[in-house]
Structure 1
Amino acid sequence: MDVHVQGGPAEPFLGARDLFSTEHDLNRPVTVRIRQDPDERTRVSHSDDAHRLTISRQAATSAMARELALHEYAHMHHHEQDHPSHTQSTKEAIYLALAGQSVEQRKLTHCYQIANHMKDVYADDIWMPVVPGDKLVPFLEASLAAAVADRPGDPPSLQQAGTPTRTRRPGEPAARLTPAADPDITAVNAAFALALCERHDLVDDGDRLYDLAHAAAQDAPDVSLREFKQHFASLSPDPDESEFRKALVDITRAYAISESGRAAD
């Protein structure tokens, strides 16, 4: 594997390269561009002769930098191998799933995020057998805990007289002025986290991740945590194009056309 790092520390990306190449390889060279902007999301682009990974300095210097690099190398590997999860048009599958339906814009946006989770399942199937997943569980727990704590609530001006306000727990962030995390997609994200950890035997039944997922599900009564966990966990390890398209269509319909009032898990 040929990896070139620009604008920041090379060690996490070269170390990830050495680990990744023990089991897999990339035919095209990889350029890693590290940017100062802390809001720069990790982005990967591909051409016929190269891959490019753009990542923030904050992410590139974090404790998860090596694992993030492994994850992105796995996406590149699937792209080179024409894996169905990476060749299927997400837009095409979503439009097929929702033909004739009227869907909220927020839910349509979430459908693309859910499709990315499916790609991530297959990317994680590639790299997680290469290194221990001990860093991943705390990372997922912290991300889910932040989203659950950031759930919407009635502003003071809308609270009914006599309604007690919720006391902020120690260590919980103060109230935000920006939009809060959407409970529906937070519940799906929780299902994805559980499915990923169970798929790779990373958690026991009593792990904190289950408590956090349950809290997320309580905030989203129209989303079945159990159903979406099953969608992610049951993805075939080696799908053909038709099988993957059906899985993507099914999970899209389950989310965007779910019945209101479905009980939380």
Structure 2
Amino acid sequence: MLVAIVDRAGRGGTRKVKAAFEAVETRYAELGHTLQRPVSGEIVAIPIMGASKSLKDRHTLYVSARAVESGLVDGLIAHEVGHMLRTEAGHPSHSPDVYRLIAKEVRIPRAAEAAFGQAFNHVQDVYADDLAFPVFAGADGRRAYDFFAAWVENNATMRSKNRWQNLGLAASNGFAIGSLVRHGLISAEDKLWDRARAFDREAGFQGVDALAEFYAKLPASPTPEDFIAELKRLAAIMTKASTT
């Protein structure tokens, strides 16, 4: 339940966000998912589309002013509510107890920490989107396809000379395409694969195929032990790509 929405960016949009949240909440309820904790919303000036923060007694939804002005605010809200639902359910991907185990058990090079953090965030995104896709993807999935295709195209403009930064972007490409594979929205012949592979070639490594397969095949309901094993596999995929 959305209990408050505040415009901290000074650009309006509270009614639009409230209406979108209520529509998303209704659709989730139809699918059998209901948040147990209250949600407060804030419209803020941030460079990303949005985010959320979950505490034991409440959630906070952050919606960028840019998202409010786009046609994607309901998709953003559906995604963030997916994170909230996973947190409430104690899913390993959203469990602080599991985070502590990850820090102890998953080994990555120091230079890779930012890239691996980015890749791990996308693991969480996969599980949030397993719930959110039926809410925002559209009847034929085209809306989701267009969103992730734009993601891959945007990453192509961000390639740098830093190998690990580029691997972080490759992980984002793998997440985008892997999500489409996971939900049956892309074929093996789709040109989006070519675009992501070209990014890898230009960056001097090969990673997107293994990364896309990783994200596409993440188990739906892993135990904490199985989840940590998956993250070790992710670290191994990225480390291998960095050295080839």
TM-score, with length taken from structure 1: 0.78
Single out whichever of 4-13 and 224-233 deviates more from structure 2.
4-13
Q: Partner residue of 1:234?
A: 217
| Aligned equivalents of 1:41, 1:128: Cα separation in 2 | 17
The alignment covers a number of residue pairs equal to 231
Q: Partner residue of 1:4?
A: 4
Structure 1: unaligned runs, 5 residues or longer: 154-178
Single out whichever of 181-190 and 244-253 deviates more from structure 2.
181-190
Single out whichever of 126-135 and 229-238 deviates more from structure 2.
126-135
Q: Does the 8 A contact of 2:115 with 2:165 survive in 1?
A: no
For residues 202-217 of structure 1, the aligned pairs below 5 Å read 202-217=185-200
Structure (1 or 2) with the larger CA radius of gyration: 1
| Aligned equivalents of 1:218, 1:230: Cα separation in 2 | 18
Task: Report deviation, 1:216.
Answer: 1.7
Q: Secondary structure at the match of 1:34?
A: strand
Letter of the 1:28 partner, please give it.
Answer: R
Q: Partner residue of 2:85?
A: 77
Single out whichever of 75-84 and 204-213 deviates more from structure 2.
204-213
Q: Partner residue of 2:10?
A: none
Q: Secondary structure at the match of 2:203?
A: coil
Closer, same or farther in 2 for the Cα pair 1:4/1:18, shift >3 Å?
farther
Q: Does the 8 A contact of 1:30 with 1:50 survive in 2?
A: yes
Q: Does the 8 A contact of 2:98 with 2:224 survive in 1?
A: no
Task: Report deviation, 1:108.
Answer: 0.8
Is 1:116 aligned to residue 125 of structure 2?
no
Single out whichever of 69-78 and 49-58 deviates more from structure 2.
49-58
Letter of the 2:22 partner, please give it.
Answer: L
Closer, same or farther in 2 for the Cα pair 1:226/1:257, shift >3 Å?
closer
Task: Report deviation, 1:208.
Answer: 3.4
TM-score, with length taken from structure 2: 0.84
Please, what is the CA RMSD of the aligned residues?
2.4
| Aligned equivalents of 1:125, 1:222: Cα separation in 2 | 29
Task: Report deviation, 1:210.
Answer: 1.7
| Aligned equivalents of 1:91, 1:48: Cα separation in 2 | 17
Is 1:39 aligned to residue 44 of structure 2?
no
1:192 to 175, 184, 201: 175
Q: Percent identity?
A: 25
